[in-house]
């Protein structure tokens, strides 16, 4: 029964992430926004790679036993690919220099990599790894809340989107280390099934709403009328348009 619950949770997460792929596809097809300005192609990877990872996890592929606990390797592969994009895109929306975008992405990737090491370790090494991973998390949050806002102030047309994405990532991700602490890999207060179901929910909420927020604020990347040529089409963003409506 427990394996069935995990399989169902992961399958539902994969379906929800597929919806995120549809949102990005709608952004790419829209003639009313500049896909180059928005760098929307990168957003495909976030729900797309995560969805594929959840399909593989639902099929029980890439699972290893560590100290009696099951570790889903594709969960960490998903995170190490998609979460640097999540924080890096926040920096792009803010208009931050590439060095800061790469810095926050690197801090994120190191946080995940060391976290995986802590999960695969046993004894005191687990807690040392957790502490180091937490340190990279603090660096990530510092860049997100102390560095990026300085540049976002200079990009007023994208400031609202920046704040939405900043808080969506910054606040939601506080739940992950807390969940790890209570999971079987940590103190063991939450069962393996409960941990798997909560993580699936958090991952879905972290990714599909993220790309939807970009869609809802797509006016930030409106086509520049000066470069629209003589197409004679109205480039005004229709804020009532939904992702399911063809442009």
Look up the CATH number of the domain holding residue 42. Answer: 1.20.1070.10
> In angstroms, rounded to a whole number, what is the distance separating the alpha carbons of residues 112 and 32?
37
Whether 235 maps to a domain, the answer reads: no
What pLDDT score does 1 carry? 61
What pLDDT score does 139 carry? 97
Complete DSSP assignment for 172-198: HTTHHHHHHHHSTTTT--S-HHHHHHH
Q: What is the pTM of this model?
A: 0.87
Whether 242 maps to a domain, the answer reads: no
CA proximity to 60, closest of 117, 122, 11, 118: 11
Q: Please provide the average confidence, as pLDDT, over all residues in the chain.
A: 89
Helix (H, G, I), strand (E, B) or coil at 123: coil
Whether 65 maps to a domain, the answer reads: yes
Which residue do the tokens 């089409």 mark? 233
Helices (H) and strands (E) in the chain, counts: 10, 2
What pLDDT score does 68 carry? 76
CA proximity to 119, closest of 67, 178, 60, 53: 67
Whether 90 maps to a domain, the answer reads: yes
81-112 residues labelled b (16+ CB within 10 A) or e (exposed) = bbbbbbbbbbbbbbbbeeebbebbbebbbbbb
What pLDDT score does 133 carry? 97
What pLDDT score does 111 carry? 97
Helix (H, G, I), strand (E, B) or coil at 222: strand
Which residue do the tokens 């190191």 mark? 110
> In angstroms, rounded to a whole number, what is the distance separating the alpha carbons of residues 105 and 53?
20
Q: What sign for the dihedral angle of Cα 185, 187, 191, 196?
A: negative
Range of the domain at 144: 2-220
Whether 246 maps to a domain, the answer reads: no
Whether 244 maps to a domain, the answer reads: no
What pLDDT score does 32 carry? 87
> With a cut of 70, which residues of the chain have pLDDT below it?
1, 224-247
What's 69's DSSP letter?
Answer: E
Give the chain's largest Cα–Cα span.
67
Number of independent structural domains in the chain: 1
Enumerate the β-bridge partners of residue 222: 33
Whether 239 maps to a domain, the answer reads: no
Whether 181 maps to a domain, the answer reads: yes
> In angstroms, rounded to a whole number, what is the distance separating the alpha carbons of residues 12 and 17?
9
């Amino acid at each position: 029964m427990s394996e069935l619950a995990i399989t169902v949770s992961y399958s539902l997460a994969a379906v929800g992430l597929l919806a995120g792929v549809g949102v990005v596809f709608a952004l790419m097809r829209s003639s009313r926004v500049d896909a180059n300005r928005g760098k929307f192609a990168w957003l495909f990877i976030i729900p797309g790679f995560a969805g594929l990872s959840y399909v593989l996890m639902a099929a029980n592929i890439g699972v290893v036993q560590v100290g009696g606990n099951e570790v889903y390797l594709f969960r960490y592969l998903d995170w190490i690919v998609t979460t640097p994009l999540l924080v890096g895109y926040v920096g792009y929306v803010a208009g931050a220099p590439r060095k800061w975008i790469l810095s926050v992405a690197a801090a994120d990737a190191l946080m995940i990599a060391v976290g995986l090491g802590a999960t695969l370790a046993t004894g005191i090494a687990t807690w040392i790894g957790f502490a180091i991973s937490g340190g990279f998390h603090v660096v990530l949050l510092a860049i997100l809340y102390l560095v990026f806002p300085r540049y976002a102030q200079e990009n007023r047309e994208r400031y609202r989107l920046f704040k939405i994405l900043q808080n969506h990532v910054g606040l939601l991700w506080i739940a992950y280390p807390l969940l790890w602490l209570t999971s079987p890999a940590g103190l063991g207060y939450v069962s393996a099934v409960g941990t798997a179901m909560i993580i699936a929910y958090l991952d879905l909420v972290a990714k599909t709403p993220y790309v939807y927020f970009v869609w809802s604020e797509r006016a930030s990347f409106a086509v520049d009328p000066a470069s629209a040529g003589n197409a004679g089409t109205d480039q005004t963003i229709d804020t009532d348009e939904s992702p399911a409506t063809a442009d």
